[in-house]
Structure 1
């Protein structure tokens, strides 16, 4: 995808449907933040940041994971962002992107377990998300379908046209689901499962949350999506059951970092520090099923949805470096194998 190369003077507000400006002070500092977080959570976080960073004007450009990575690479010679916030660590590990980041020892970062931060401080991950199947129980019963518990179960011909999932080319959620299957089964068997699953797939979406939202209203029976969207849907009263696949339940970390080409590194650092402050981390349980910051309680929605307290019991141990290194090759094969 060819993104237009912008000058720093370009109004970032015109680039995004969600661009939140904090502070109207004429002399305020200003930073541009690129993020793959969901729009509703960005708005919630920044509402609090408004009170704690009153001298910083924050412009947010929200893009899907795949589009954000493409934009960063396209702008490599003329960076527009000061901060990358909540971006899939699999993508950040791509040297074309990680080389654009400057090491910064964020305040509070030392408290994160080593597996949730870069050894050279180029990135840190305070949150993460996991894949889940959103199953509409009413439609399941109407269609006389068995409750799926795994990816293998979805190969049942009875599910033909009843499943939707995110396209891994544009969605980080879609990519983590495909990567987990390939890492769990190996190349040959993994791609065979993906090809067989495609026979039952109604469509692929560009958004990781959309499949669950489609399932929650009964448009389809199964939406391969995000666990937190499933938990929120259950809380809201939709006839939905969240299923973590017993085979290859993938997950992803959401990483943040300082852009080396930033024109305002001091304010960018203030913002990054804020993302690990107690004010920020207290909000994470409202939106996240994976929180890496020690001492932050899990979401109350997790218990309601049946999510175990020890996620290591259900999550496939993802090799993020492998996911990052093989991403382009996997997406190329996806396009030639599934490609629709």
Structure 2
């Protein structure tokens, strides 16, 4: 039953992706990945139900399917975080799967009865070494690509926080959780050969992947924006050596910082929910790298932390004004540039050490 549920969900999610407006490269990768998962589940359903004996030529088609699951996870993560993989890189990542198929050619050449006896009845055969090779390569690939994706997501999150003032739907925490779930499935495969446990986990995995994948918005609106944000992603610790390397002189940095403070005071750019480092740099008529370095040096914050700190300060100002007395806390937070209650509460607590409501009570603004 769990095979059928998984296949149905995979097909449904693929249809939803096809019907989705303005599909991205990530959507296309996700659709192809779901198709591979659906085929994998379909194969095991055919084996589990015994229907595969009517189509013995299908036996062995699963040799490389487990191996490509981790590969597609990596492809999907790269399509979301950028830069996209080149054709040559894609071919290189898929090469082990192709080699595994080539190694299995002697099995494909066997008669239908012999293949049915090996797969369905588990009779002794001369291909135990291939079973070991398949299982080993599957686990090595699965764990390796999962760890690579966790590293990508961590690196991406740091880059995003240095480029965007709002990180809603951009940090890919759900992809990190999905990857941890896939690692859990690999662990079940490693310590148990019970298909019920394994494919029950796969069904949950497909549901989680489809739900969040379909709802994942495009992080970078264009390739040019992606390239700009990638180039402006630097370390938080800015040293004298880094300043010299970037060509930014101390005197110039001081001038830009003064203009930054003035711009924030007069135009209050932090009130724009989707303000990016690139947009701020354009207003200052300098480069994103320079702005990032200056904020790091003078404020000891990332761009993300700096802008949201200004938003908290704005909240502390407007909450005392009579015209905002009828506003809810969330409404005031959104007036200050925040897009969600959770993000506002997080930054407010980090900066003030208290909750917004506690501050309002102390100021006798609420009862």
Give the TM-score of the pair, scaled to structure 1: 0.23
Structure with the bigger RCO (C-alpha within 8 Å, sep 6+) is 1
Greater percentage in helix: 2
Greater percentage in strand: 1
